[in-house]
Structure 1
Amino acid sequence: MDSSYSSPIASVRPAVDAELTAFLEQRSSEVHRIGTELAPVLQALDALLSGGKRMRPAFCYWGWRGAGGTEDPAVYTAAASLEFLQACALIHDDVIDNSDTRRGLPSTHRRLAELHEKAGWRGDAAEFGRGAAVLLGDLCLSWCEDMYAGSALPAEALRAGRKPFADMRTEVMAGQFLDMVEQVRETSSTEAPQRVMHYKSAKYTVERPLQLGAALAGRYEELAPVYSSYGIPLGTAFQLRDDILGVFGDPEQTGKPAGDDLREGKRTLLVAETLQRVDTTTSDRFQQLLGEPELSDPAVEWMRDLVESSGALAACERRIEEYVENANRALDRSRITDDARRALSDLIVAATARKH
């Protein structure tokens, strides 16, 4: 490989980070004028934004380049706005799942609960933390819109991007609700988690950011189907990989305790595949343990062994391979620029590579 070549994420990240820093500094000064009590809230947001892969801004940028967009600094502002949407989704998701950690650090609601505890304030610290986190997530959603609208791209381009930008926000919220429903339904079908992945991850992570980039470059109608053919299978494979890491991943790599998804009771495709491959007695025991917050390490090991021995892990790995093949075929048939095709090919690997 050309030694001057930078990975498709690494080439985008510095500009995206600079845009986020500039925006957050401006808005933080405005918020501080409202009240100094808000400083810890902004610190929690800064800690969250400092991590992450910048996948969605990268797909947005390369969707733009694939549509013939030039190296315009303004596109980084629009792409970076997606990180505030991601921050909103993560903060709210952690509240819903009652997660203790995110990216190796205390989750936002835990961090804000600690603020309550240290200050010795009246009432329940955990309840305060959850409420404050919900408000911070709402603020991120608002700032996502503000940052996008404040981009220096032409007004016509921003109007063209409104459809995928709006669709993306609607679908991720709807997908999150579907996810919540499946946790309480406790169904074992494979169709239900696939529908959740379709809206909560595949469209949100890959397809819509790509389509946003194409729309900003004035080629939405032409390239939207192309980016769907690539983005949906890749986004699904990305979520499947994430689900596998949630059970088998190295905590130093994932930033979460081993088997954390089992303790949170996530009804993923990996779980559904397992339940469909074991006898009723074993399935009942697995489901009794699933979602137990104090799940012991031996219980986690038993569940992980079952996922593997039942063939569920291998089945999900095969699905990932199939989705990757579909994404590659769609990319090969696409009429996009050569540099974007190269970048999007590398993003397939970045999104689905084994890390466990």
Structure 2
Amino acid sequence: MTNSPLERAGLRPRVDKALAGFLATQRAHLLEIDPALAEVADAVSAFVLGGGKRLRPAFAYWGFRGAGGIDSDEAVAAVSALELVQASALIHDDLMDRSDTRRGEPSVHRRFELLHRRAGWRSDAAGFGDSAAVLLGDLALVWSDDLLHTSGMGLAELARARPVFDLMRTEVTVGQYLDVLTQATADTSLERAGKVARFKSAKYTVERPLLLGAALAGAGPEVLAAYSAFGLPLGEAFQMRDDVLGVFGDPAQTGKPAGDDLREGKRTYLVASALAALDDAGRVELDEALGDPALDDAGVERLRAVIRASAALDATEARIDALSREALTALDEAPIEEEAREVLLALADAATRRSV
């Protein structure tokens, strides 16, 4: 048996198979409309199938199993819809952040900008790329509905799952807006940084997938409460780990340029902690450099040193540990199946100890 929690029950290849089959069907539909849409279908497929750990489907699947759900390919297909929500969020996130790469490959808006340039088409290549990314992100979100509802799960199961699925997509969308707003207003409060982390990522990475799986299984209120008590702090710890990697991560592992979060002006918990702890000179230096797209490697190293000196990195690591302990205590007390508890424990470790 594999040691990876993402591979238990053969889950990851099964998710990939469900996604590949669905995307092949959607490609055929697009080609019936116009052969030019092959590039759209191929871009979405490459983005969805070209990487990602399948963490959200894993939490949803084991949330389903923990609540007494019986393994089936239909259940795997249903939770695989979360990868299309994730694709939509990332495509739009890269566009808003003006990120050039994702997983070491050109981001979607850059891919279509390059397509325009190579073809020698009229008008603005960058504008074409931006428009394509908006539409492809929207398409991935539409397709998440399609995959959930064509998964083969029964009408009763889908009716229970639908409110969770809809609320999750609302939360991640408004969380993304709050992130953009925070950058625009330069809000440096820990309260705002925590709220952005909670709604942009934490809830839809762990808590809502768990609750989606629980809803598919027909879980009762005790299981739902336990999943929220486990999932929310774990999701916040996951996002804080992501924030640390956004500043201190190795590009060879993360697939993103070093210090991208600094160039994008992300007001994360890590940055908010640094700004709260620094003296006036350090606060001005960090605040003025945040959001500078021309920040070079030397500038990134300088800001890393400033953040370390503020003890914000240590404080963030301590907060990750505290949130993880809170989550694991809730998991230990959750009234769920033991195999699911074991896998969810391993998933929690993978989510917060990761290096990529």
**Residue 133 of structure 1: how far off its partner (Å):** 0.8
- The count of corresponding residues between Structure 1 and Structure 2 is 353
Structure 2 CA distance for partners of 1:220 and 1:169, relative to 1, 3 Å: farther
TM-score normalized by structure 2?
A: 0.97
Quick check: 1:8 aligned with 2:5?
yes
Aligned-residue Cα RMSD (Å) equals 1.1
Q: In the alignment, what sits opposite 1:307?
A: 307
**Residue 323 of structure 1: how far off its partner (Å):** 0.5
CA deviations 1:97-129 (Å, max 9, x no partner) are 111111111100000110000011111111100
CA deviations 1:1-42 (Å, max 9, x no partner) are xxx244221231111000000000001011012112122222
| Rounded Cα–Cα distance in structure 1 between residues aligned with 2:130 and 2:12 | 30
CA deviations 1:51-88 (Å, max 9, x no partner) are 11111100110000000111111101110111111111
**Residue 337 of structure 1: how far off its partner (Å):** 0.3
- Paired letter, 2:192: A
8 Å CA contact 1:275, 1:283 repeated in 2: yes
**Residue 153 of structure 1: how far off its partner (Å):** 1.1
Q: In the alignment, what sits opposite 2:46?
A: 47
| Rounded Cα–Cα distance in structure 2 between residues aligned with 1:187 and 1:200 | 16
| Rounded Cα–Cα distance in structure 2 between residues aligned with 1:187 and 1:6 | 42
8 Å CA contact 1:168, 1:208 repeated in 2: yes
Q: In the alignment, what sits opposite 2:349?
A: 349
- Structure 1 window deviating more from structure 2 (279-288 vs 302-311): it is 279-288
| Rounded Cα–Cα distance in structure 1 between residues aligned with 2:201 and 2:280 | 31
8 Å CA contact 1:85, 1:144 repeated in 2: yes
| Rounded Cα–Cα distance in structure 1 between residues aligned with 2:166 and 2:187 | 31
**Residue 131 of structure 1: how far off its partner (Å):** 0.3
| Rounded Cα–Cα distance in structure 2 between residues aligned with 1:13 and 1:144 | 18
CA deviations 1:229-259 (Å, max 9, x no partner) are 0000100000000000000001111000111
**Residue 281 of structure 1: how far off its partner (Å):** 2.1
Q: In the alignment, what sits opposite 1:225?
A: 225
Quick check: 1:185 aligned with 2:185?
yes
Q: In the alignment, what sits opposite 1:275?
A: 275
- Paired letter, 1:110: R
Percent identical among aligned pairs is 51
- Extract unaligned runs of 5+ from structure 2: none
8 Å CA contact 1:59, 1:210 repeated in 2: yes
| Rounded Cα–Cα distance in structure 1 between residues aligned with 2:183 and 2:91 | 19
8 Å CA contact 2:175, 2:199 repeated in 1: yes
**Residue 221 of structure 1: how far off its partner (Å):** 2.9
TM-score normalized by structure 1?
A: 0.97
| Rounded Cα–Cα distance in structure 2 between residues aligned with 1:5 and 1:141 | 32
Structure 2 CA distance for partners of 1:5 and 1:119, relative to 1, 3 Å: closer
2:71 is paired with a residue of what secondary structure?
A: coil
CA deviations 1:181-231 (Å, max 9, x no partner) are 100110211110100111111111000000010110011533221101000
- What are the residue-to-residue correspondences of 1:69-218 with 2, within 5 Å? 69-218=69-218
8 Å CA contact 1:41, 1:112 repeated in 2: no
